[in-house]
Amino acid sequence: MKQFEINARERSNFTKAAVKQLRKEGLVPCVLYGNNQENVHFSVSQKDLKDLIYTPNSYIISLNIEGKKQLCILHEAQFHPVTESILHLDFLTIDPAKPVSIHVPISVSGNSEGVRQGGKLQILNRKLLVRANMKDLPDTLDIDITNLLLGKAITAGELKYDNVQILSPKSTIICMVKMTRASTSASASAAAETAEGTEEAPEA
């Protein structure tokens, strides 16, 4: 999995006034925790976070807090309800020697058989929670939908990847081909043609 580098500066003042001033300066208050380490409070320029936050991608984060480096993942993000600006970020420390749990985006490819029959493809979940060693973490979870039939779905329980454990519930629906009026009409026409062909067939 790709890494994303962040340069940050430590902070020690946690009052509302201090946090407000940080945001006024275009900085985002953050906290790093996990692996039985003490919580580390820091701030990052909001503009340096755009490519991390406003993207479908997932990253292992290389965090540099005034020369102290740590690998982590983004755990939670809080946004302003109106402006949608970033209010606060939580980062979770990871150990390169241990498996990492992280949400990985889905990448769908192929022309579904159900879509060719007039159905409509619906992608219901665009990321799945997986667990793997850092060296085995994929950038995306690739799914080929070529054989996905009309009215059928692909669930998390059907997916398998080398050295990657899927933690999302097996019943989680990734995508499905929904029946439409066009597909229903096509199915009815095909059934009618089959019936006519049967009726016209000569007796043995």
Alpha-carbon separation of residue 107 from 24, 74, 110, 128, 138 (angstroms): 38, 21, 10, 11, 11
- Asked if residue 182 has pLDDT above 80, the reply is no
- Asked if residue 115 has pLDDT above 90, the reply is yes
**pLDDT score for 196:** 55
- If one counts the domains in the chain, the total is 2
Cα(111)–Cα(176) distance, integer angstroms: 13
Residue ranges with strand state E in the chain: 3-10, 27-34, 37-45, 60-65, 68-79, 86-93, 100-109, 120-123, 127-132, 141-144, 153-155, 165-166, 173-178
The band of 202, judged by pLDDT with boundaries at 50, 70 and 90, is: low
What is the percent of the chain with per-residue pLDDT over 90, rounded to a whole number? Answer: 82
74 located within any domain? yes
What average pLDDT score do residues 26-32 get? 96
**Cβ atoms of residues 28 and 47 within 8 Å:** no
The string of pLDDT tens digits covering residues 148-175 is 999 999 999 999 999 999 999 999 999 9
**Strand pairing category for 153-155 and 86-93:** unpaired
Q: Is 57 helix (H, G, I), strand (E, B) or coil?
A: coil
What average pLDDT score do residues 79-100 get? 94
Q: Which domain holds residue 170?
A: 101-193
**pLDDT score for 204:** 46
203 located within any domain? no
Q: What's the CATH code of the domain at 81?
A: 2.40.240.10
**pLDDT score for 181:** 74
Length of the chain: 204
Cα(5)–Cα(177) distance, integer angstroms: 39
200 located within any domain? no
The band of 36, judged by pLDDT with boundaries at 50, 70 and 90, is: confident
- Asked if residue 188 has pLDDT above 90, the reply is no
- List the one residue out of 44, 24, 20, 23 whose CA is nearest residue 32: 44
End residue of a domain, out of 98, 123, 155: 98
End residue of a domain, out of 76, 98, 120: 98
Between residues 190 and 141, the one the model is more confident about: 141
- Asked if residue 25 has pLDDT above 90, the reply is yes
Q: Is residue 50 located within the same domain as residue 129?
A: no
Q: Is residue 121 located within the same domain as residue 47?
A: no
**Cβ atoms of residues 155 and 172 within 8 Å:** yes
**pLDDT score for 197:** 54
